[in-house]
Copies of this chain bind each other. A is one copy, B any other.
Amino acid sequence: MPNPTAAILIIGDEILTGRTREGNGHYLAGELAKAGIDLRQIRVVGDDHATIVAAVRDLAGTHDHLFTSGGIGPTHDDITADAVAEAFGARIGVREDARAILAAHYAGRGLEFNEARLRMARIPEGACLIENPVSAAPGFSIGNCHVMAGVPNIFQAMVASVLPALTGGRPLMSQSLRVMQAEASVADAFGHLAAEYPDLSMGSYPFVKDGAFGTNLVIRGTDPARIDAAMARLCALFPEGE
């Protein structure tokens, strides 16, 4: 059976304007590979309602899972929950279970449960809450879409509670060989090897070190025996590699 597929949707003007260098996509990419879920696309869009609705419909409709990051805080530019609700045709309002979680959290810390914070209890009908052990305000899953915070440590905590509940596939594994030759010098042999193993994915990544050209040759796949076999061939082709 093929692995399930996934897309990640990152939401926030601060990324498209160059203010913030996004890292949640990279983090989740690594976690999905370990879980055996094939990440097919990462998309970044701004804080615009119609754009988010269209992206959620497109990506949730064409992948087994969609994970979103950002836009579920207390301020006017946090519009992800409403957009996801519209994309799934669900009503949205303050949900009692979410309100209770927030009320207990703020009461325990002597913080005011004001109207801005109440916004974070707005959850689409039919969604399941995603726990937020850092600052209480929950994410949620609706259909195949998992809506999480953009703040990196909260995002990572939410991923940790969502991912184990999903049915994964065979983890993506990789091995690599580092050769001190230019990419073009290894291209021919490496390309022929790749053609012999169509079930594996092989990529080459050039680098320059101390003025000399080198290339990292990476073999990826889900069957460790096949990766070992291809790797043995690769090492025979480039015995000086390491």
Contact = CB atoms under 8 A, between A and B. Distances in A.
A57 interface: no
A42 B16 contact: yes
A39 B17 CA distance: 7
A13 interface: yes
A17 B172 contact: yes
A77 B44 contact: no
A88 to B, nearest CB: 21
A33 B22 CA distance: 16
Interface in A192-234: 194-195, 201-206, 218, 220
Contacts of A186: 75
Given A74-B183, A191-B75, A205 B26 contact: no
Interface stretch (A93-101, A109-117, A161-169): A109-117
A203 B116 contact: no
Contact of A44 (B25, B114, B194): B25
11 contacts: A12-B203, A14-B205, A14-B218, A18-B30, A19-B174, A74-B184, A76-B191, A76-B194, A114-B184, A117-B184, A151-B206
